[in-house]
Amino acid sequence: MATKRILKYIGIVLGILVIAFACFIAYGYYMFNTSLLPDNEPFEHASHYIDPETALLNEGFNICDENYILQYYNTQELPYPNGKNGFRNYINLAYVNDNYPDSGYLNIRFIINCEGEVGRFVIHENNLDLEPNTFSENLKNQLFKLTSEAKGWKPIFLHEDNRDSYMYVSYRIEHGEITEIIP
């Protein structure tokens, strides 16, 4: 009789543990696969997507595979022309601070296609606190021109083939002087 009672208690405890474990698994599934997703899927593209309809210098620019555009960091080498130091030297030699009062980050996003051509540019402007900002038109145009006309961007080589990739160059500017080029 005592063993039946002990087995009954063990069965009840095991049953409660199984039910609790099942509830935990169901709650985890709900939280990660259902509850955090936006309703009606309002996001059509990933956050790094550059809309060809609104992008600068998109006319005549061809993407090799519209559905497979990688991030620049998918390989070990940055895709800068002549390496990062070569690109930095190119910008520093060509850039002229025309007494610009601007400070902040001028971010230029674009695509490097599988042939090493660049296009689909987007410009974002932020102050040093990363809040939206507006730069002098001449400063913005000068850095955009220097970035877009740089020769020798390298396509990403992955899975035995050149691939399209998203790239960005962020210029940290203090009182019109470029203090850093990221990445």
Backbone angles phi, psi at 68, to 5 degrees: -140, 70
First-to-last alpha carbon distance for the chain, in angstroms, is: 75
Instruction: Give the residue among 177, 72, 173, 90 at the shortest CA–CA distance from 127.
Output: 173
Task: Report, as an integer, the average pLDDT of 104-117.
Answer: 93
pTM of the model: 0.72
Backbone angles phi, psi at 126, to 5 degrees: -140, 150
pLDDT digits 0-9 by tens, 46-104: 667 788 888 888 888 899 988 888 887 767 677 887 788 889 999 999 999 999 999 99
Least trusted range by pLDDT, from 79-93, 104-118, 138-152, 169-183: 79-93
Backbone angles phi, psi at 37, to 5 degrees: -80, 140
DSSP per residue, 106-175:
EEEEEEE-TTS-EEEEEEEEE-TTS-B----HHHHHHHHHHHHH---PPPEEETTEEEEEEEEEEEEEET
Whole-angstrom CA distances from 130 to 108, 133, 144 are 14, 8, 19
Q: What is the pLDDT of the chain when averaged over all its residues?
A: 86
Query: Which structure tokens are listed for 171?
Result: 């210029």
Query: Residue 183 and residue 23: Cα distance in Å, rounded?
Result: 45
How high is the pLDDT of residue 52? 80
Query: Which structure tokens are listed for 106?
Result: 């001028």
> With bands split at pLDDT 50, 70 and 90, how would you rate the model's confidence at 146?
very high
Query: Residue 115 and residue 118: Cα distance in Å, rounded?
Result: 9
DSSP 3-state assignment of 178? strand
Whole-angstrom CA distances from 41 to 31, 36, 38, 46 are 17, 11, 6, 12
How high is the pLDDT of residue 21? 92
Helix (H) or strand (E) holding 5: helix 2-30
How high is the pLDDT of residue 70? 82
Domain ranges within the chain, ordered by starting residue = 1-37, 69-182
